[in-house]
Amino acid sequence: MTKRYDETEEIEDVYLNVVIRSNKQRRYFSTLMAVLSILDRDDICAIYQLVMNRYQDETPEGFDKILWGDLIIMFNQIGNDEFWNAQQNWKTVSWKLHSSSGIHTIMTDEGIVIHMLVENKYPLKKEVLSQLLKLKLETEEDSTIALELIRFVKKQIAELEPKDSDGDEKNL
């Protein structure tokens, strides 16, 4: 007997998200990070639009709120001051690139997962950016996107370096 699942349904205390591709193929995932490995940028943008339209007039609850929050941070990096101000407590434990979707993900020791578009500049503090470079970027395949992302992070760190009155970096 085949069981049919709605878009999100609890099964043995695990919530599953269903992705239905244009070819009607169904795949089930428990996290957004798992989905990022098979979706491209257009798919991610479509999911963002669907979720934002779905919750235009109501507030999501449960696991829907987690997906909604992840997408809000990913696409609207500014305006989440409470979230970004908590960075002083973050200790990053992994940094991954999902080349097909153009998204990189950081995970903290407290289980916070942040998905970010590679081309966007997020209000990350110098300490967090430095932690990323020390961790080294994990990726499924060699890509120019990975090298560009590392250069982008290094540039952000340089921009955050304190400058002396002559415009030179201070050695603290």
For residue 56, pLDDT over 60 is answered with: yes
What is the average per-residue pLDDT within 101-124? 91
Per-residue pLDDT of 15-54, as tens digits, reads 445 555 566 666 666 677 777 877 788 888 888 888 888 8
User: According to the model, what pLDDT value does residue 40 have?
Assistant: 84
Whether residue 119 is contained in a domain is answered as yes
- The larger pLDDT score, comparing residue 76 to residue 145, is at 145
What is the average per-residue pLDDT within 105-121? 92
> DSSP string of the chain?
-PPP--SEEEETTEEEEEEE-TT--EEEESSHHHHHTT--HHHHHHHHHHHHHHTSSS---THHHHHHHHHHHHH--SS-HHHHHGGGG--EEEEEEETTTTEEEEEETT--EEEEETTSPP---HHHHHHHHHH--EESS--HHHHHHHHHHHHHHHHHS-B-TTSPBP--
User: According to the model, what pLDDT value does residue 127 have?
Assistant: 94
User: According to the model, what pLDDT value does residue 17 have?
Assistant: 57
Count of alpha carbons within 13 Å of 95, Cβ hemisphere only? 17
Whether residue 30 is contained in a domain is answered as yes
Q: Hunting for tokens 């070819």 — which residue is that?
A: 23
User: According to the model, what pLDDT value does residue 7 have?
Assistant: 43
Mean pLDDT of the chain: 79
Whether residue 2 is contained in a domain is answered as no
Whether residue 143 is contained in a domain is answered as yes
Question: For residue 170, what pLDDT band results from cuts at 50, 70 and 90?
Answer: low
Whether residue 170 is contained in a domain is answered as no
Whether residue 96 is contained in a domain is answered as yes
User: According to the model, what pLDDT value does residue 5 have?
Assistant: 38
Whether residue 1 is contained in a domain is answered as no
Q: Count how many domains the chain has.
A: 1
User: According to the model, what pLDDT value does residue 80 have?
Assistant: 63
Give the other-Cβ count within 10 Å of 138's Cβ.
Answer: 12
Whether residue 36 is contained in a domain is answered as yes
Question: For residue 79, what pLDDT band results from cuts at 50, 70 and 90?
Answer: low
Which residues have a Cβ under 8 Å from the Cβ of 169 and sit 6 or more positions away?
A: 158, 161, 162, 163
Give the other-Cβ count within 10 Å of 30's Cβ.
Answer: 13
User: According to the model, what pLDDT value does residue 26 have?
Assistant: 67
- Provide the domain limits for residue 112: 8-160
Count of alpha carbons within 13 Å of 166, Cβ hemisphere only? 3
